[in-house]
Structure 1
Amino acid sequence: MYFAALLARTEDGWEASDTELDDVETLSDLADLAREASVDEDTVLVFIEQEDAWFAVVRVEGEDDPRIYVSDAAAAARSSYGEILTNELLGDGRDDATDDLDALDLDGTEDGEPDAEEGDDDGDEDGGGAAANDAPSGPVGDRLILDDLGLSEKELLALDSDALTEIADVLGASDVLEAVR
């Protein structure tokens, strides 16, 4: 189960709205959704969380490229929305040269090791993609994404369960976030 919300900075503080990610297929889609919530091209934070397995913060400011932080890349890469973010940060692991090598079956299983995709039971439809297999367990992305808003890198990395509430508390937006939960 996902929770997703947008926090848009305004002159009067933060405004929160829950958001549906059903139509989001790319980071560009997500950035466009955030820009629509923006007031005067000010900061918009997109919070995404999947049942305490991982959380992500995407920061969009005007037409600048989005900044992304994901708390656990390996967990996120196994989910549809997390995969969008981890692929952006880590690459999807696919390119023409990789496709050509895959056709030659040079995946490390030629020495009798079992193929990792056989018995893949992580619950996703596509075997997790290349990024899921290569994603590190732990945080990836811009660790200073919230530094200027009062949450240091050290504090961000220390967050675990209920992270989005703790972030909102530091921002002074816990009441507006709770209103959309």
Structure 2
Amino acid sequence: MYFAALLARTEDGWEASDTELDDVETLSDLADLAREASPDEDTVLVLIEQEDGWFGVVRVDGEDDPRIYVSDASAAVRSSYGEILLDELLGRETGNDGTDLDALDLDGTEDGEPDDDADDDAGGAEPATGAAESTVPHGPVGDPEILDDLGVSEKELRAMSEDALTEIAEALGASEVLETVR
């Protein structure tokens, strides 16, 4: 089960809104959604969690490039929302249909498919066992200092697990507004 929320910092404090990610296919889509939540170009945090799996934070400050942190890349890679974040963090390219283009060889075969021109002495390629997953590191990826100036240190962020979004909201002084959209 997923939960996603936007926290926008305003003059009056943090405002939270529940967000639907069904139409989000890229990080650009997600950043645009965040920017729409704050027309004054204030800081907006997109908080995403998959219950007992992983959490992610995307920070958008005005027109600056989004900053991203994912708590467990190996868990997030199995999630469509996690893949959106990881594609950017790991520099992977995807096609219009969501296909991992980096898993394709230049000759058009997928990693692990035997190349017909391969030397028989090479023994052929090993079968692919989750090519996308094999290139993903275990553990956190991204910018661990994403929330430092907001009161959540790198050490605190890395230590968070099951109830991370609530812990982040508490540190920001936004726990009540986050709970209203949960």
Same fold (TM over 0.5): yes
Matches within 5 A, 1:141-180: 141-180=142-181
Q: 1:52 to 1:95 in 2, by over 3 A?
A: closer
Counterpart contact for 2:114–2:125, Cα < 8 Å? no
- SS in structure 2 at match of 1:98: coil
Query: Residue 40 of structure 1 aligns to which amino acid in structure 2?
Result: D
Query: Residue 49 of structure 1 aligns to which amino acid in structure 2?
Result: E
For 2:63 and 2:22, the matched residues in 1 are separated by: 23
> Of 82, 89, 105, which residue of structure 1 is paired with 2:114?
105
Counterpart contact for 1:8–1:44, Cα < 8 Å? yes
Deviates more, 1:94-103 or 1:146-155: 94-103
Q: Which structure features the higher share of helix residues?
A: 1
- Percent identity for Structure 1 against Structure 2: 74
The root-mean-square deviation of aligned C-alpha atoms, in Å, is: 2.2
Match of 1:74 in 2: 74
Match of 1:64 in 2: 64
Counterpart contact for 1:83–1:132, Cα < 8 Å? no
For 2:106 and 2:85, the matched residues in 1 are separated by: 22
Query: Residue 135 of structure 2 aligns to which amino acid in structure 1?
Result: D
| Deviation sequence 1:72-128 (CA, Å, 0-9, x none) | 01110111010010111002264598333746737xxx65786244xxxxxxxxx6x
For 2:141 and 2:104, the matched residues in 1 are separated by: 25
Which stretches in structure 2 are left out of the alignment for 5+ residues?
94-100, 116-121
Match of 2:51 in 1: 51
Query: Residue 54 of structure 1 aligns to which amino acid in structure 2?
Result: W
Counterpart contact for 2:114–2:124, Cα < 8 Å? no
What is the number of residues matched between the two proteins?
A: 167
Q: What displacement does 1:137 show?
A: 1.1
Query: Residue 105 of structure 2 aligns to which amino acid in structure 1?
Result: T
| Deviation sequence 1:10-65 (CA, Å, 0-9, x none) | 01110000000000000000000000001410000000001120000000011110
Q: Does 1:84 align with 2:78?
A: no
TM-score (norm. length: structure 1): 0.84
Q: What displacement does 1:134 show?
A: 1.1
Which stretches in structure 1 are left out of the alignment for 5+ residues?
118-126
Structure number, greater radius of gyration? 2
